[in-house]
């Protein structure tokens, strides 16, 4: 045997363990091949200056772990890791049962030289790093720093929780029967609400198209989605009432402002109608509002939570879109009995939300830095949205339609028939632009021509360049497809 184990007598690790580790690693890597004979215990003990029982203990462990076979009188032989063990765990089989039906989203993103309209997230370049640093420094200087580092409460870091709740009261969002829990962003708030209210086979009414993260969350819970078509006037009321009556959903999840992927905002009349319908059916409304603070023009509308006199709405918000998505802090505001149960689910799920980031974001908000940053985000967002809409008008061929959001991060584009935005993507990426095709967001209404342009992460000149490329690709594809659809002249 070429391999001589190197032992460290000063180590905390017992020598038999060191021996075992080194043999096991070499057997698993294949360096010691199947069938190879290990030195006799006496021989190896002599070679290494060890007690023979130390070597024997290591060999015993190797045998128990199924890595070698000891044959009385003949010695020990590498058994090797059998490619298909007779015993053991069938991971593929075990994982099959709970496999989510829907893919969790597109794999990969755009390449290096591709202008990516792919991610609905703020621009890295706009992060106010100095203000962030100043907020962290203030937290490091706090007298309760040790409390921030200690195990916390499932409800959230109490100073932040109180700040958010008081702010919600000032805005008339929170009534006397309401409570608030801090979560890891909006996503976890939705997750906890699902855990508390849903069981497998339950139906959840959602907008169609809908944010992919909600699709995969609900699929993972075994819930069925009932899509309600969403347009500029809001949810399709007739369809909503049909779903509420026939499918008896456990929840209605809606995005009140600048919905992802469409960018649409529910008009006031649609909010009132939706609350009336859900209230009559006794169905709770989850108002997801990650983008509400990013309104670039027009007037803010009252939240569903504010309009709902019956206490049937829970509002979900987050710091992520308006500040730093890498810090995972959001919250849910709703009736106390629900929030109590969310707190239990939160504790079971991950004990509590990270307290360092909660303290930093509280400081960022209380110091006025968040509001200053939001003002800059609103200016930048307005520019980027305007650049997107202008570029759509200038570069996209006739017959293309798109939404005209008043805020948020996304514009929804519908290419002229018979184009398929999914089929077009490979070519678009080759030409230098990437987006998400509509199918990722579809519930039951497939719109092959639809695609999402997430503009917030790109400077205006990039947006212009990207949409120009998209326009070129679409035009050339239209020319190609219109030829393909034209009857060949020889056939006339």
Of 84, 62, 87, nearest in space to 75 by CA: 62
User: Which is nearer to a second copy, 234 or 449 (by Cβ)?
Assistant: 234
CB of 201 to a second copy, least distance (A): 10
User: Which is nearer to a second copy, 100 or 416 (by Cβ)?
Assistant: 100
Question: Which runs of E-coded beta strand occur in 327-478?
Answer: 330-335, 401-402, 410-414, 433-434, 436-437, 450-454
Quote the tokens at residue 227: 């899509």
CB of 464 to a second copy, least distance (A): 23
CB of 68 to a second copy, least distance (A): 10
| Torsions phi, psi for 256 (to 5 deg) | -75, -35
Is the omega angle on the peptide bond into residue 418 within 30 degrees of 0, that is, cis? yes
Collapsing DSSP to helix, strand or coil, 100 comes out as coil
User: Which is nearer to a second copy, 56 or 136 (by Cβ)?
Assistant: 136
Q: How far apart are CA 474 and CA 480, in angstroms?
A: 10
Q: Which residues of 327-338 are buried (b: 16+ CB within 10 A; e: fewer)?
A: bbbbbbbbbeeb
Q: How far apart are CA 248 and CA 205, in angstroms?
A: 9
User: Which is nearer to a second copy, 28 or 379 (by Cβ)?
Assistant: 28
Tokens 């584009």 found at: 413
Quote the tokens at residue 184: 């890891």
| Torsions phi, psi for 440 (to 5 deg) | -65, -20
Let me know: does 190 contact 210? Beta carbons within 8 Å: no
User: Which is nearer to a second copy, 63 or 383 (by Cβ)?
Assistant: 63
User: Which is nearer to a second copy, 285 or 433 (by Cβ)?
Assistant: 285
User: Which is nearer to a second copy, 19 or 425 (by Cβ)?
Assistant: 19
Task: Kindly list the distances between the CA atom of residue 70 and the CA atoms of 59, 110, 201, 239, 301, in Å, as whole numbers in the listed order.
Answer: 8, 54, 53, 71, 77
Let me know: does 320 contact 186? Beta carbons within 8 Å: yes
CB of 213 to a second copy, least distance (A): 7
User: Which is nearer to a second copy, 245 or 347 (by Cβ)?
Assistant: 347
User: Which is nearer to a second copy, 12 or 486 (by Cβ)?
Assistant: 12
**H or E stretch at 207:** strand 203-208
| Torsions phi, psi for 116 (to 5 deg) | -100, 110
CB of 294 to a second copy, least distance (A): 14
CB of 412 to a second copy, least distance (A): 21
User: Which is nearer to a second copy, 70 or 213 (by Cβ)?
Assistant: 213
Collapsing DSSP to helix, strand or coil, 37 comes out as strand
CB of 139 to a second copy, least distance (A): 8
Let me know: does 449 contact 438? Beta carbons within 8 Å: yes
CB of 236 to a second copy, least distance (A): 20
CB of 221 to a second copy, least distance (A): 9
CB of 429 to a second copy, least distance (A): 21
Of 255, 215, 219, nearest in space to 235 by CA: 255
Give, to the nearest 10 degrees, the angle between helix 15-29 and helix 52-64: 40
């Amino acid at each position: 045997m070429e391999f001589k184990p190197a032992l460290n007598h000063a180590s905390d690790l017992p020598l038999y363990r060191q021996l075992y580790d080194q043999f096991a690693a070499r057997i698993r890597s294949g360096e010691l091949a199947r069938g190879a004979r290990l030195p006799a215990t006496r021989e190896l003990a002599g070679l290494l200056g060890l007690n023979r029982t130390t070597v024997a203990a290591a060999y015993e462990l190797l045998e128990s772990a199924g890595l070698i076979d000891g044959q009385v009188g003949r010695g020990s032989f590498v058994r090797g890791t059998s490619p298909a063990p007779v015993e053991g765990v069938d991971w593929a089989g075990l994982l099959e049962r709970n496999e989510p039906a829907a893919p969790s989203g597109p794999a990969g993103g755009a390449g290096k030289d591709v202008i990516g309209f792919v991610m609905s997230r703020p621009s890295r370049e706009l992060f106010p790093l100095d203000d962030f640093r100043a907020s962290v420094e203030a937290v490091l200087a706090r007298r309760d720093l040790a409390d921030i580092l200690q195990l916390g409460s499932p409800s959230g870091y109490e100073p932040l929780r109180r700040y958010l709740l008081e702010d919600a009261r000032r805005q008339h969002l929170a009534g006397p029967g309401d409570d608030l829990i801090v979560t890891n962003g909006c996503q976890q708030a939705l997750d906890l609400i699902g855990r508390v209210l849903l069981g497998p086979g339950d139906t959840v009414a959602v907008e169609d198209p809908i944010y992919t993260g909600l699709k995969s969350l609900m699929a993972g819970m075994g819930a069925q989605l009932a899509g309600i078509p969403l347009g500029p006037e809001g949810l399709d009321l007739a369809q909503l009432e049909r779903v509420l009556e026939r499918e008896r959903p456990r929840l209605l999840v809606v995005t009140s402002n600048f919905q992802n992927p469409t960018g649409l905002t529910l008009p006031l009349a649609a909010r009132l109608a939706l609350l009336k319908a859900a209230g009559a059916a006794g169905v709770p409304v989850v108002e997801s509002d990650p983008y509400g603070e990013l309104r670039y023009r027009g007037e803010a509308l009252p939240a569903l939570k504010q309009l709902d006199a019956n206490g049937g709405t829970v509002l979900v918000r987050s710091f992520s879109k308006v500040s730093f998505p890498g810090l995972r802090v959001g919250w849910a505001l709703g009736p106390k009995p629900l929030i109590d149960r969310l707190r239990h689910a939160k504790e079971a799920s991950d004990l509590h939300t990270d307290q360092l980031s909660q303290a930093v974001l509280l400081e960022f908000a209380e110091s006025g830095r968040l509001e200053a940053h939001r003002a800059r985000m609103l200016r930048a967002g307005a520019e980027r949205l305007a650049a997107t809409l202008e570029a759509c008008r200038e570069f996209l061929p006739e017959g293309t339609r798109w939404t005209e959001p008043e805020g948020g991060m996304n514009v929804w584009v519908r290419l002229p028939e018979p184009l398929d935005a999914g089929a077009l993507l490979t070519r678009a990426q080759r030409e230098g632009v990437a987006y998400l095709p509509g199918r990722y967001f579809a519930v039951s209404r497939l719109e092959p021509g639809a695609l999402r342009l997430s503009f917030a992460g790109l400077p205006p000149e990039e947006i212009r360049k990207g949409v120009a490329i998209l326009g070129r690709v679409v035009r050339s594809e239209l020319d190609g497809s219109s030829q393909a659809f034209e009857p060949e002249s020889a056939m006339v």
